[in-house]
């Protein structure tokens, strides 16, 4: 309970919290005739933003041991990230029997518990009643006795027995009384509404689809439910008229703008991909009267932090009022990203992405429904927000709030008025070497709460094949210096721990050492606030963070692919372990035993976990640079790559692992080709690749055979380009094409702006090397690949702003077919280079 002798300055905040508690139960949602979700008492528009989270079911349930404690931890973080929405598609196979009767089991109990806990944090719920598929992914399905196992997903909407089971189930689900709230789902004001099923598969006629929906709506209404009923309209395009002719109040959509399950981290500027979300059936009769919800979205397979606010801005411009990402990783298993390989989001393990979600939550409530914006790149700054690919940054900057996802030099617009700061890295008001998120919240004048998360160190590609034995992000707890330049606190203030028995300390010139935890920062000592004090939807002393994982040293380093000869090479590596290294030595492969003159470079820690050193040009011999990095700590040595005990100069050291960089004279061509990713713009077409010889530049030649079923099929080949060698004085893009049945091809690049520049070439039988003058590349439309989902979205970004081509900004090689491609057409593509 907040202490009664609280100062008058805190009374308005207390009143706000009490008001929310008192009115929460009185504010169900309804959908008006214009398809707008509104609060029933105030009639004001509603806006919801949050996540999907699946811990009561399937893989997360099987992988977590203390389920309710895990739920408590994650929902606390939901609150810190500003979410007010939670969506779940229920695994009906885990809570039903063969005829649809609701089973009172642990899965249902955990769902009840979860629903009660999110509403305690001010978070609303949208329930999708059924998934109609198994509970196994990413493992095998388990037999549960649920009715969905008896029918194919595309059969449940037409099979009479399946439909009868679904009717029984939804009636019992909505009438089910949650023991933690004492309310039936149909009556719980925290539950906004119900979506009938997750991503339906309608293969029957639209007439039968309409009948199925009517049957399910009738079953839901028979319980006395007054909440909005939603249905997915982004699947089964030919059934759209049936959806809008049905008696539903809301429609649901999803958005995966860069595809799913790449198997690796994707790189590039994807802002052009999220510039628009055009719905081609928006003129359908009934469209305007239905509320619009995004049940799932995610820019999958990336670790960037600039995408969520941009997507949310676009959602709001299309009138979406419910927006929930898929899916938030439970903190107890997030270290391994096993739940959904292609998605990765957790405050502790992906701090910058989580902060981007916090900023996006603010976008959802501050950007007006239907508000329009100019086309990319003019829309990278909108309202109080900024997104930047080059800085990998999302930024919210208002007089009261200052949130950022990465280092930024942009100052807050009104430092004296700030009440909330959240960030990662350094800014004009916070300097911090650690690599966890931090939150600073003003409780009253001169009193702030600091919450500091431990460091999250990525040690493997989180989007590669997962395993519960393969950690992708490791956690370290370290003490780092922090400097604050918050006018309200001044240069000297007290730091008091709220979740430990540490003694108070004093900041000098705004600088103090800090470990993960929660603290009061006070200009003057006060006892008005304590760990048990309530503030918003949390208690001040609450803190959730995983323990430190690192038990051995790890070196995270990606070598340069190539470098120009005669130049020094600067090497950076992130080094983490159970302690800080005593020293770090880089050793080239020119090693002679027992010599004091073997070439080596001492790396120095420049910030956080990042170490750096420069290899002089004189130590770089031949066409390949090979090197190791050795970590020295407490009398022991560990050499990487390979993590072998010992050092290269030890007489019995037998390491065969090196990092390698190719060395070439500046005048030599810059090799670009190899390992091309191939795409088709048509769902009915695909490319078959076959490596068949090496020539020239020792590059593999791949034969691509195109299988075509539609005249609109178009094919693309792409490769991310490392800009490690100088591109100056390179005047031609060259491609080796020994054989081809195609007669034309587009060659070019995508730049860091996300713009495509290309030139069309003709292919001749008696020619193998094709050279395109760089100066002839013209601005072109950018194909959005992998193809966005849902499939009705735009396939191309057509730029409206001219940007001149700059060879120093090229980021991706882009090759594409230009005209109609015949079935079984083939092309051999070998070396690709700049000269």
Asked if residue 586 lies in contact with residue 613, where contact means CB atoms within 8 angstroms, the answer is yes
Higher pLDDT, 15 or 124: 124
Backbone angles phi, psi at 239, to 5 degrees: -105, 5
Residue 3 has pLDDT above 50, yes or no: no
Residue 23 has pLDDT above 70, yes or no: no
The model's pLDDT over 188-206, given as tens digits with 9 standing for 90+, comes to 999 999 999 999 999 999 9
Q: Give me the residues paired with residue 210 across strands.
A: none
Average pLDDT over residues 240-258: 97
β-bridge pairing 562-564 and 659-664: parallel
- Which two structure tokens, joined as six digits, stand for 215? 């049957």
Higher pLDDT, 696 or 350: 350
Average pLDDT over residues 158-182: 98
DSSP string covering 115-156, please? Answer: HHHHHHTT-EEEEE----S-S-TTS-------GGGGS-TTTT
Q: By 3-state DSSP, what share of the chain in percent is helix, strand and coil, each rounded to 5?
A: 20, 30, 50
Residue 12 has pLDDT above 70, yes or no: no
H/E run at residue 114: helix 106-120
Q: Which of 677, 721, 725 is nearest to 813 (CA)?
A: 721
β-bridge pairing 511-514 and 480-484: antiparallel
Residue 8 has pLDDT above 80, yes or no: no
Residue 263, number of CB atoms within 10 A of its CB: 12
Distance (Å, whole) CA 749 – CA 762: 18
Is the domain spanning 8-371 CATH 3.20.20.80? The answer is yes
Residue 21 has pLDDT above 60, yes or no: no
Residue 750 has pLDDT above 60, yes or no: yes
Q: Report residue 5's pLDDT band, with 50, 70 and 90 as the boundaries.
A: very low
Q: What is the pLDDT of residue 13?
A: 37
Average pLDDT over residues 427-435: 98
Distance (Å, whole) CA 519 – CA 507: 13
* Residue position matching structure tokens 């966005």: 788
Q: Tell me the pLDDT of the chain averaged across its residues.
A: 93
Please indicate whether the domains covering 554-664 and 670-834 agree at the CATH topology level: no
Q: What is the pLDDT of residue 550?
A: 87
Distance (Å, whole) CA 273 – CA 270: 5
DSSP string covering 279-324, please? Answer: -TTTTSTTGGGSEEEEEEE--TT---SSHHHHHHHHHHHTT--EEE
- Which two structure tokens, joined as six digits, stand for 531? 């760990």
Residue 1 has pLDDT above 80, yes or no: no
Distance (Å, whole) CA 250 – CA 252: 7
The 8-class DSSP code of residue 547 comes to: P
Distance (Å, whole) CA 52 – CA 87: 5
Asked if residue 705 lies in contact with residue 774, where contact means CB atoms within 8 angstroms, the answer is no
Q: Which residues contact 43 (CB under 8 A, 6 or more apart)?
A: none
* CA–CA distances in Å: residue 501 to residues 481, 497, 498, 556: 20, 7, 8, 35
The model's pLDDT over 720-737, given as tens digits with 9 standing for 90+, comes to 998 889 998 999 999 999
* CA–CA distances in Å: residue 389 to residues 393, 493, 725, 746: 7, 37, 22, 26
Q: Report residue 683's pLDDT band, with 50, 70 and 90 as the boundaries.
A: low
The model's pLDDT over 60-113, given as tens digits with 9 standing for 90+, comes to 999 999 999 999 999 999 999 999 999 999 999 999 999 999 999 999 999 999
Higher pLDDT, 22 or 777: 777
- Which two structure tokens, joined as six digits, stand for 614? 């420069």
Please tell me the total number of residues recorded for the chain in this structure: 835
Chain centroid offset of residue 437 CA: 16
H/E run at residue 491: none
Distance (Å, whole) CA 339 – CA 468: 10
H/E run at residue 164: helix 160-175
Q: Report residue 158's pLDDT band, with 50, 70 and 90 as the boundaries.
A: very high
CATH code reported for the domain at 670-834? 2.60.120.430
Distance (Å, whole) CA 687 – CA 718: 13
Using only C-alpha atoms, the chain has a radius of gyration, in whole angstroms, of: 29
Distance (Å, whole) CA 431 – CA 507: 13
Q: What is the pLDDT of residue 591?
A: 55
Q: What is the pLDDT of residue 599?
A: 83
The model's pLDDT over 784-815, given as tens digits with 9 standing for 90+, comes to 999 999 999 999 999 999 999 999 999 999 99
Distance (Å, whole) CA 387 – CA 271: 9
The answer to which of 1-5, 147-151, 734-738 has the lowest mean pLDDT is 1-5
- Which two structure tokens, joined as six digits, stand for 574? 């992130």
Using DSSP's 3-state secondary structure scheme, residue 785 falls into coil
As a whole-number percent, the residues of the chain with pLDDT over 90 amount to 89
Distance (Å, whole) CA 581 – CA 629: 12
Q: Report residue 592's pLDDT band, with 50, 70 and 90 as the boundaries.
A: low
Q: What is the pLDDT of residue 590?
A: 58
Average pLDDT over residues 279-298: 97
CATH architecture, range 554-664? Sandwich (2.60)
Q: What is the pLDDT of residue 18?
A: 37
* Residue position matching structure tokens 């439309």: 781
H/E run at residue 49: strand 48-52
* CA–CA distances in Å: residue 493 to residues 73, 253, 400, 412, 576: 30, 49, 21, 21, 32
* Residue position matching structure tokens 């919240």: 441
Question: Where exactly are the structural domains of the chain?
Answer: 8-371, 387-539, 554-664, 670-834
Q: What is the pLDDT of residue 496?
A: 98
Distance (Å, whole) CA 722 – CA 226: 57
The model's pLDDT over 642-669, given as tens digits with 9 standing for 90+, comes to 999 999 888 888 877 999 999 999 999 9
pTM above 0.75, yes or no: yes
Q: What is the pLDDT of residue 655?
A: 73
Asked if residue 94 lies in contact with residue 57, where contact means CB atoms within 8 angstroms, the answer is yes
Residue 469, number of CB atoms within 10 A of its CB: 7
Asked if residue 361 lies in contact with residue 81, where contact means CB atoms within 8 angstroms, the answer is yes
The model's pLDDT over 294-350, given as tens digits with 9 standing for 90+, comes to 999 999 999 999 999 999 999 999 999 999 999 999 999 999 999 999 999 999 999
The answer to which of 51-60, 330-339, 410-419, 821-830 has the lowest mean pLDDT is 821-830
* Residue position matching structure tokens 């390989």: 341
């Amino acid at each position: 309970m907040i202490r009664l002798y609280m100062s008058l300055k805190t009374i308005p905040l207390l009143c706000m919290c009490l008001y929310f508690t008192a009115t929460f139960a009185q504010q169900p949602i309804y959908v008006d005739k214009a398809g707008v979700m509104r609060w029933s008492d105030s009639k004001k528009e509603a806006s919801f933003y949050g996540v999907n989270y699946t811990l009561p079911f399937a893989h997360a349930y099987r992988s977590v041991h203390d389920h309710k404690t895990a739920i408590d931890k994650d929902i606390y973080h939901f609150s810190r990230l500003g979410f007010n929405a939670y969506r779940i598609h229920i695994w009906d196979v885990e809570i039903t029997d063969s005829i649809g009767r609701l089973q009172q089991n642990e899965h249902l109990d955990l769902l009840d518990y979860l629903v009660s806990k999110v509403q305690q944090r001010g978070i609303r719920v949208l329930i999708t009643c059924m998934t109609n598929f198994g509970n196994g992914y990413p493992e095998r399905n388990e037999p549960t006795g649920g009715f969905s196992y008896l029918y194919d997903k595309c059969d449940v909407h037409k099979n009479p027995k399946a439909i009868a089971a679904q009717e029984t189930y939804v009636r019992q689900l909505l009438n089910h009384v949650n023991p933690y709230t004492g309310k039936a789902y149909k009556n719980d004001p925290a539950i906004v509404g119900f979506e009938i099923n997750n991503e339906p598969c309608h293969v029957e006629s639209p007439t039968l689809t309409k009948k199925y929906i009517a049957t399910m709506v009738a079953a839901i209404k028979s319980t006395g439910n007054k909440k909005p009923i939603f249905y997915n309209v982004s699947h089964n395009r030919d059934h759209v008229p049936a959806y809008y002719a049905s008696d539903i109040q809301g429609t649901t959509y999803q958005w995966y703008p860069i595809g799913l399950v790449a198997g690796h981290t994707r790189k590039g500027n994807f802002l052009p991909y999220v510039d628009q979300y055009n719905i081609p059936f928006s003129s359908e009769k009934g469209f305007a009267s239905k509320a619009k919800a995004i049940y799932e979205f995610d820019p999958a397979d990336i670790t960037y932090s600039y995408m969520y606010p941009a997507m949310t801005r676009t959602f709001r411009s299309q009138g979406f009022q419910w927006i929930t990402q898929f899916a938030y990783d439970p903190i107890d298993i997030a270290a391994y990203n096993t739940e959904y390989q292609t998605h990765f989001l957790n405050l502790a393990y992906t701090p910058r992405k989580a902060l981007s979600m916090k900023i996006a939550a603010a976008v959802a409530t501050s950007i007006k429904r239907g508000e329009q914006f100019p086309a990319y790149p003019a829309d990278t700054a909108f309202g109080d927000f900024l997104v930047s690919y080059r800085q990998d940054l999302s930024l919210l900057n208002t007089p009261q709030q200052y949130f950022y996802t990465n280092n930024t030099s942009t100052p807050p617009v009104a430092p004296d008025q700030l009440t909330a700061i959240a960030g990662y890295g350094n800014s004009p008001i916070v300097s911090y070497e650690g690599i966890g998120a931090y939150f600073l919240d003003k409780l009253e004048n001169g009193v702030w709460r600091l919450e500091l998360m431990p460091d999250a160190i990525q040690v493997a590609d989180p989007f590669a094949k997962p395993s519960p034995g393969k950690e992708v992000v490791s956690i370290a707890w370290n003490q780092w210096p922090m400097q604050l330049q918050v006018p309200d606190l001044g240069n000297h203030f007290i730091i008091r721990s709220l979740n430990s028995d540490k003694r108070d300390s004093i900041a000098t010139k705004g600088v103090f050492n800090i470990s993960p935890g929660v603290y009061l920062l006070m200009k003057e000592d006060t006892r008005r606030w304590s760990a048990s004090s309530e503030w918003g939807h949390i208690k001040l002393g609450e803190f959730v963070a995983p323990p430190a994982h690192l038990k051995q040293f790890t070196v995270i380093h990606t070598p340069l692919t190539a470098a120009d000869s005669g130049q020094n090479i600067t090497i950076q590596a992130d080094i983490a372990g159970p302690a800080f290294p005593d020293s770090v030595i880089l050793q080239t492969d020119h090693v002679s035993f027992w010599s004091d003159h073997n070439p080596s470079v001492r790396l120095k820690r420049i910030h956080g976990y990042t170490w750096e050193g420069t290899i002089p040009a004189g130590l770089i011999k031949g066409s390949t640079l090979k090197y190791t990095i050795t970590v020295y700590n407490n009398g022991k040595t560990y050499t990487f790559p390979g993590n072998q005990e010992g050092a290269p100069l030890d007489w019995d050291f037998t390491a065969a692992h090196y990092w390698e960089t190719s060395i070439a004279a500046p005048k030599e061509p810059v090799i670009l080709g190899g390992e091309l990713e191939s795409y088709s713009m048509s769902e009915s077409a695909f490319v078959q690749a076959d490596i068949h010889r090496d020539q020239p530049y020792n590059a593999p030649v791949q034969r691509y055979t195109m299988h075509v079923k539609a005249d609109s099929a178009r094919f693309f080949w792409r490769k991310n380009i490392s800009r490690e060698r100088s591109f100056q004085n390179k005047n031609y893009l060259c491609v080796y094409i020994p054989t081809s049945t195609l007669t034309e091809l587009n060659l070019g690049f995508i730049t860091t702006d996300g713009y495509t520049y290309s030139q069309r070439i003709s292919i001749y039988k008696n020619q193998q090397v094709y050279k395109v003058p760089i100066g002839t590349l013209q601005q072109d439309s950018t194909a959005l690949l992998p193809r966005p989902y849902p499939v009705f979205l735009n396939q191309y970004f057509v730029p409206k702003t001219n940007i001149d081509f700059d060879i120093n900004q090229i980021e991706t090689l882009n090759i594409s077919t230009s005209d109609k491609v015949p079935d079984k057409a083939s092309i051999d593509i070998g070396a690709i280079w700049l000269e």
